[in-house]
Amino acid sequence: MLRETFLFLSRRRALRRWMETSPVAARLTRRFIAGMRLEDGIAVARRLYSENILATLDHLGENVTSPDEARAARVCIEQALDAIAAAALPATVSIKLTQFGLDISDSLCRANVEAVQQKAKRMGSRVEIDMESSEYVDRTLRLVEDLHSANGSLRAVLQAYLYRTHDDLRRLAARRIPIRLCKGAYNEPPSVAWPRKSDVNASYARLARILLDEGEDPAFATHDPRMIDIVLEHAARCGRSPATFEFQMLYGVRRDLQSMLVSSGFRLRLYVPYGDAWYPYFMRRLAERPANVVFILKNLFRR
């Protein structure tokens, strides 16, 4: 019932206009979304860098339905890379393959991704390829492996709640493909994903240890203090220096943990979303996993 409600709300144009212009909604947008424009994302990335925090810029959008929309998404990311270079920021960009045309054709998507990957490589940056729902995993990883072999300069995202991730992680790590490990936020069936939170946590802990043992420049995307402690304990045990891995968090979430990690000398990168597609994006994230509602509301009132 809650899922259907959020999907319904994501299509309400009047509500979207109100959310995007209302002072009442401004606290939410300021806390979790950098703004509507690329300039807003760059401004946030500059401020974060002044606080010794790195950024990955995410121009919001996904599931495009035409080649023109996919090319437009590519242009937006190319502009983001240009702005990152002009500002001399050590930032990356994050993309979703459905935003680059994966639902239309693999070849179209590959051409668009390869264009931004090559641009990122020339400027010494990286493309972080977000993982979407389980139906996209095989096609996403196939493209990641092909493009890594050709150009490098990318990082793949794997989700700890999928049963298959152990095998995927070992395969990608053996090929020296950088990995960002997250728990996963989509509403997946128990046939493909751990249904219980405790099982997801246990899977994340196991995979994090393997990634520290075998991974190339791994990233650990988590706001869970227990998972952070597990990563730090195993990193110390296996002799990983802080320069060889990083933590990643969402912009505006657990700023207390962010400060703790940075002050302790660990590398931290924040996922900074921007763009005028933030409202449908936000509502669909809540629809995919209604438990995210509690997560967002709790973080509205954290420091």
Query: Residues with catalytic annotation?
Result: 130, 180
CA torsion sign, 171 to 175 to 176 to 182? Answer: negative
Alpha carbons 100 and 151: distance in angstroms, whole number: 18
CA dihedral 220, 224, 228, 230 (to 10 degrees): -110
Per-position DSSP letters for 109-173, written without gaps between them: HHHHHHHHHHHHHHTT--EEE----GGGHHHHHHHHHHHHHHH--EEEEEETTBTTHHHHHHHHH
> At 85, is the secondary structure helix, strand, or coil?
helix
- The label of the residue with tokens 């069936």 reads 189
Query: Which residues, 6+ apart, have CB-to-CB distance to 143 below 8 Å?
Result: 97, 106, 109, 110, 113, 129
- The label of the residue with tokens 């270079």 reads 85
> How many residues in the chain?
303
CA nearest neighbour of 55 among 106, 91, 84: 91
Angle 41-43-44 from CA coordinates, rounded to 5° = 65
Alpha carbons 163 and 208: distance in angstroms, whole number: 15
